[in-house]
Chain A
């Protein structure tokens, strides 16, 4: 996986989307894969864990209350001082974006999905090979 290319794409997303502050790609089990330069490593670790938890809970919500199609289109949290958006990105990965309160949610979501398409298979995080009797 070409992390430099991914990071460059994340920076591009921030540049063309007003109000965005940080972008991060994480594995479904909550580990950062790459992130924009302004996000400190510790914050990136924390955001990766948070986003994995949110997506997993959102998935449970879709199973319980969705139409059975499965999957989560987008999870969003609005808090004092900003917003958090998360979308699925390839197999086993998610894209998380932190914005200021001024960001336009529709545009952020649109640009995130566009980016996911661009990134394509860059974003997939392979499942671990079984090391034992699994």
Chain B
């Protein structure tokens, strides 16, 4: 009985709470700009509406065009099941699950890029190229972060390795992972999720031709990915071990909220970067994670 209840709670957290995050970001942006903005639950309404709508598909696209968003959603969902939720632990945990999580996110990226190329549109080609190319640097940063966490804890399992870092390492890791979060979730300053029709977009331009239920899967998957990164970031930096379960859950929720608000603030206060500066910023993220690794490694030496 208890395991089933736990599973339901976990699914509820990931599936139902995730769409809240983009709503909060939009609210923060509206608040900074002095507007009222869309309701926090707007994405829920959008998802419900899209789920009932019909689909227009490019004449060039194969049936895989509507299936791949579902596959990408499953991949992100699978990655989410590996991430521990504070005191509740992870849905599935084993040695090396951190790598499976990274590669599941890569699978989602592959599916999105493949679906984008199905349409034969040059715009979506541009988006796909940017997505897969910038991922090279983001991946390097994430692996460096994984290495630094495993140096600290001597483990490669997310449940044990997401113990809080200490001192300079925590600061470096927080900064590095926050930049990766912005890049991987296509937020400002890497991408602007508000506009669709610029030549300068990454993720939004890749999903230009999607509609109906596949678009709903994409939007929900994106929200879930944002939540995943926020949860990982919070747990990599914040100490929660000594708290009681309820307190830890509260702290986790609070820090995820904080990360979300921070994303909203960055989006309000910063303009999108020119594309030639994007690799520079991602390299900075990589270097931050690399320094975190070096600090953890040399700091741990007797």
A binds B: no
- A residues sitting closer than 8 Å to B (CB atoms) are none
